[in-house]
Structure 1
Amino acid sequence: MSETTPHENPLVPNKKLRHIYTAMVHARLLDEHIAKLQRKAKANQRLAYSFGEEACRVATAIELKHGDLASNTQISATMDLLFGAPLTPLLRNITAVISGAQTRERISTNATIVSRQLPWIDGAANRLSMAMGAALTLKTQQQNNIVIAYAYQAELTRRAWKHVLTLAAQLNLPIIFVLLPQADGKGEATNICKDARTAGLPGIPVDANDAVALYRVAQESMGRSRGGDGPVLIECISCRAIGQRKNKRSDPILHMKDFLTARKVCTEDWAKHAGEVFLRRLAAAKH
């Protein structure tokens, strides 16, 4: 497929757009694989899913560099996959965790993959404190690296969020907060982006299903934080009202597919079969 089309965007080349889409498809397929395993095995230890969050996670993590760190909301395999964990041992570890043969604190046993993720601990306040501590260490050591910290807005009160954001701004930390969409719509109604700007850092709302917009905002935010200009908050806003039926607009993968095909970045056939090789690898790893 030609890399040059009438719709080529130098800021986000077509090759990168296809890479983002493929990574989103792979993340969805891996989650579906895990869900199926857990239904069959009546898992002793359950792994979390990232259904519907593929754009938020892939677009913000796909350009993280060696030495960057990630703080996750849950113990899942998505970040291991995005960081390049070899699939066969990753699937073996997933099966071991679900069966109870391996503890779920870490899924990947690849030392490089493990070193890029902060330990998961219960409680958003504790996880964010750890993430900010890691960011302060990177800053103190004058490393050109950042921390990306995922969280749900409802995990903290508005007062607690103000405290976290104010402290991050005061310390000028190289950290990007990514607020994931709350699937159930519950939680305290707040304007977290406004609170971020009041605290002294950019607060940027982005459509949670728009991987292209998220990618561009993430790249600008990473450049800012790597350049010593401090933290950024990206709030992933769900555009689907509570109770609204799932449709192309509310599914990030279908949304991305429509974007790519409308601009002739890929064909319908290419998009339809983008996950076939990955599916075959999933099937082969079972044997």
Structure 2
Amino acid sequence: MIAKKYDASKDKQFQILDQSGKVVNAKYEPKLTKETLLKMYRTAVLGRYADIKALQYQRQGRMLTYAPSMGQEATQVGLAAAMEPQDWNSPMYRELGIQLYRGVPLESIYLYWYGNERGSIRPEGVKILPTNIIIGSQSNLAAGLAMASKIRKTNEVTVFTIGDGGTSHGEFYEGLNFAAVFKAPVVAVIQNNHYAISTHVSKASNSETLAQKGAAFGIPFVQVDGNDMLAMYVVSKEAMDRARNGEGPTLIEAVTYRMGPHTTSDDPTLYRTKEEEDTWKEKDPIIRFKNYLIDKGYWSEEEDAKLVEEVNAEINDTFKKVESYGANVELEEIFEHTFAEWTPQLKEQYEEHKKFLKEGAK
């Protein structure tokens, strides 16, 4: 078992590919099909360029605040590839790779950041909760979902994703403690991108690793190279198999790096150096995985150039559609997805806002 219950802080990060894309841990290299590997790579590339374009759209005043995932593609896509169709994701707000791999159209993702309520609608059968900006609460939601799955015997696993800063919030501990006590089928993934907005992880926790926080819950935990897509797949798959077998949660710390700003409202040059950013550019997860695919004979630089051209065309066409819809939705849509049935308070708020809009139009 890769994940351990004790002394994981003394182990090196679990890794299969080094930063150049060479296999350094052949014992654990997963036997994935060429089709699956290429899907993983294409999703990562689409996510990277969708992020770049979204930043441009926002700067042009054509999109609202956006939270890019640049640099974290391997963590997210490796995790998503290990999930089964029936599994749930209780997300935070930086999950582009997971959403794309699991079947959420880029159109829906852009709609959300554009300010259109319909961007939160998931395709039939895609079990991803709406984007969650309440830091730490995804842990409690995951524990509840997983307990329901256990009671109903649905063979579902719930994965929740959280940032390094989110592990300082009480709900992270409350949800994971509950899941551990009741052996709920939960996999907790910390995306340690080193910064909670501008606060470095060293200022947020005195632990040698964030993974070792799993010791307090009595569950297995592991620190993994989050820029290694294969390593992320392997540890996630092991954790999900454990959860599906009734063995309870696992805590995974994926050590990665946020290459862009926290959101489009952030300026990372105020709190980190160019030297630090350049060091992490050399660990770029997409370049690493591309080199691995080329070495296996599954990919080429010519095919890569064509893919970049294709995804940029796809992104441009998608955003044209999003802009054609605008942010306009029926007022009821903003209120109707909060509860199965409207509460008296929700009805009151709706009527108040409806009146406000009507008077403002005069």
What band does the TM-score fall into relative to the shorter chain?
A: 0.7 to 0.9
* Partners of 1:262 and 1:206 in 2: CA distance: 23
Instruction: Map Cα deviations across residues 218-244 of structure 1 (whole Å, 9 max, x no partner).
Output: 11221111121111111111389x742
How far does residue 170 in structure 1 lie from its aligned partner after superposition?
1.0
**Alignment CA distance shift 1:247-1:276 (3 Å):** same
How far does residue 271 in structure 1 lie from its aligned partner after superposition?
3.2
TM-score normalized by the length of structure 2: 0.66
| Map of 1:199 onto structure 2 | 217
* Partners of 1:59 and 1:75 in 2: CA distance: 15
**Alignment CA distance shift 1:141-1:48 (3 Å):** same
Structure 1 residue 227 corresponds to structure 2 residue 245:
yes
Structure 1 residue 264 corresponds to structure 2 residue 297:
yes
How far does residue 210 in structure 1 lie from its aligned partner after superposition?
0.4
**Alignment CA distance shift 1:147-1:29 (3 Å):** same
Q: In the alignment, is the contact (CA less than 8 A) between 1:60 and 1:218 conserved in 2?
A: yes
| Map of 1:46 onto structure 2 | 65
Match of 1:22, SS? helix
TM-score normalized by the length of structure 1: 0.81
The aligned length equals 270
* Partners of 2:164 and 2:30 in 1: CA distance: 33
- Structure 1: unaligned runs, 5 residues or longer: 1-6
Q: Map 1:74-113; keep pairs closer than 5 Å.
A: 74=93, 77-87=96-106, 89-90=107-108, 94=110, 97-98=113-114, 100=115, 102-103=116-117, 107-112=119-124
**Greater C-alpha radius of gyration:** 2
Structure 1 residue 218 corresponds to structure 2 residue 251:
no
Structure 1 residue 255 corresponds to structure 2 residue 311:
no
How far does residue 197 in structure 1 lie from its aligned partner after superposition?
3.5
Percent of aligned pairs sharing the same letter = 24
Instruction: Map Cα deviations across residues 50-84 of structure 1 (whole Å, 9 max, x no partner).
Output: 11110111110124333321111116654432222
Structure 1 residue 32 corresponds to structure 2 residue 52:
yes
| Map of 2:226 onto structure 1 | 208
Letter matched to residue 135 of structure 1 = A
* Partners of 2:58 and 2:304 in 1: CA distance: 28
Q: In the alignment, is the contact (CA less than 8 A) between 1:166 and 1:200 conserved in 2?
A: no
| Map of 2:137 onto structure 1 | 126
How far does residue 258 in structure 1 lie from its aligned partner after superposition?
2.0
Letter matched to residue 57 of structure 1 = Q
Q: In the alignment, is the contact (CA less than 8 A) between 1:17 and 1:212 conserved in 2?
A: no
**Alignment CA distance shift 1:158-1:36 (3 Å):** closer
Q: In the alignment, is the contact (CA less than 8 A) between 1:52 and 1:252 conserved in 2?
A: yes
Match of 1:62, SS? helix
| Map of 2:38 onto structure 1 | 18
Larger RCO, structures 1/2 (Cα 8 Å, 6+ apart): 2
| Map of 1:58 onto structure 2 | 77
